[in-house]
Amino acid sequence: MLKWALIFLVAGLVLGALGFGGIGGAFVGIAKVLFFIAIAIFVVLLVLALMTGRAIKDAID
């Protein structure tokens, strides 16, 4: 997911530098959305992993 965000960001910056501001801005916007989705997924999986770790620790004790 972060890989795609980086690809869209670079493409948007290149398009913006070449004078295609409208589509370049759209690509940068897509990159922002993909970045925040990736961060949200990371946080959810981190919380799930921490909760699972506690459950396993409680089961062992």
Task: Please tell me the pTM assigned to this model.
Answer: 0.76
Q: Report whether 36 contacts 45 (CB < 8 A).
A: no
Q: Report whether 35 contacts 10 (CB < 8 A).
A: no
Q: Report whether 8 contacts 31 (CB < 8 A).
A: yes
Host domain of residue 56: 2-60
Q: By percentage, how much of the chain surpasses pLDDT 90?
A: 72
Number of domains making up the chain? 1
Higher local confidence (pLDDT), 46 or 1: 46
pLDDT (tens digit per residue) in 25-38: 999 999 999 999 99
